[in-house]
Amino acid sequence: MDSPNKSTYRLLYRGALSLPDSHLLLDGITFSAHLDASHNLLENPLALALESMRGRPALQFMGVTNMKDIYMDDSGGISMDIHPDAMLSRIYVENMFCLPTTSTDAIGIRVALGDSNGPETTQIIIYIKPEPSGLDSTRTDSSSCQLAVARITPAPQPAKARIPRPDDPTPRKPPSHSSSRSRDLRRISSANLAAFNARLPKPSSAAPNSLAATLGSGVRLGKAPSEFKVPQLPPKETKPKAREKGKGKAVDQADVDVFNVGSSANKGTKRKRVEEAQSQSQSQSDAASENETPMERDNKNRIKRTTQQQLSATSMQKSDPEHKEVFNYIYRGSSVDILKKLGIGDSHDAPITPVQAHRKRKTFYSEERRGEA
């Protein structure tokens, strides 16, 4: 190999490499640094370390190292040259890097700059790399390489994971779809919005199945929450008598159960009240029928029959809506008239019970019937 140019290179060390467990030396070795604007010798630790080795006859040869197993700093721009008369060194380097069976970019020669090989000792690696074009215009071989030198550095420390802070955002799972949809939304116009919505995927109805498939077959999924619907207000029901008297608003709105809460209790209470009223009216009617004699029943039927004949004579039938009210009015009026004829309707008389008045009225009709006979 050619010696470096003095005008562009600085000689750092000249000596030999001492082989381990041997008295042989690989002599004729020189290390030089390239002088240019991008390389400052005062800021180059490898150049300073090699210059500090001046005066030593040989550097410690550590062996062959795989380039993939080390970390190195090759920013110094330092190269190695072998003297043409150093046959042993040339043969060793050629057998190491230039044989077809060896890989030129996989191995390197490890050298220690010191008496020991501890962590405080600087170690270098000698490897080959393609020679830059234009460095030597006299060479015609395009496959020529040069011996480069780099400083072995310790392995970088792994980045420590930062301890999470309370104000850190909650990590979220990245979306399964691509982010091209947002770009499409920016490019689309209002005229093509309907066509874009038609191309969007519809939501699948098999969400529970996909969730079960994700979590596993042993996971129990609860029932889907039912949709809450506000019930409509029930129609207001007013009694016919209250509607006729204009008391349609008398219904208590507080009793209306919108959400059907306690409807069974209200229905049961109302049913009991209706049954009690029916039983009470039935018991009263049964008691009145038991105390009623055949003569009283005959007289009552006669009054009703006469009243119905008078109403029929005035063209009022039972199908008319006012028939019941007029019939009851005439029936009560006839009872009052009979009480007056019996002499028990004056104000100075003592009050009598409805049963006594009814019996006197029936007796009056029986006496009148006897007189006719």
191-236 pLDDT, tens digit each: 566 776 777 766 655 455 555 666 666 666 666 666 777 777 777 7
Q: What is the pLDDT of residue 189?
A: 60
What residue ranges of the chain are covered by domains with CATH 2.40.290?
A: 9-133+144-153
d(CA 205, CA 324): 64
The pLDDT tens digits of the residues spanning 21-68 come to 888 889 999 999 888 767 777 888 888 889 999 888 999 898 898 888
- Residue 27's CB is within 10 A of a number of other CB atoms, namely 19
Q: Give Cβ neighbours of residue 196 (< 8 Å, ≥ 6 apart).
A: 184, 188
The enclosing H or E element of 13 equals strand 9-18
Q: How many CA atoms lie within 13 A of 45 on its CB side?
A: 12
Low-confidence ranges of the chain (pLDDT < 70): 1-7, 37, 102-104, 132-143, 177-193, 196, 201-226, 237-268, 270, 281-282, 284-292, 344-373
User: What is the pLDDT, as a whole number, of residue 16?
Assistant: 93
Topology of the domain comprising 9-133+144-153? Ku70; Chain: A; Domain 2 (2.40.290)
> And the tokens for 325?
């009210």
pLDDT of the residue at 259? 54
Does the CA dihedral 220-222-223-227 come out positive or negative? negative
In sequence order, which residues have a C-beta less than 8 Å from that of residue 113 and are 6 or more positions away? Answer: 49, 50, 52, 53, 59, 60, 121, 122, 123, 124
Report how far residue 336's alpha carbon sits from residue 332's, in angstroms, rounded to the nearest whole number.
6
pLDDT of amino acid 80: 92
Task: Give the whole-angstrom CA distance, residue 154 versus residue 337.
Answer: 132
Structure tokens that stand for 99 in this block: 């044989």
Q: How high is the pLDDT of residue 3?
A: 52
What was the pLDDT predicted at 173? Answer: 78
State the pTM of this model. Answer: 0.41
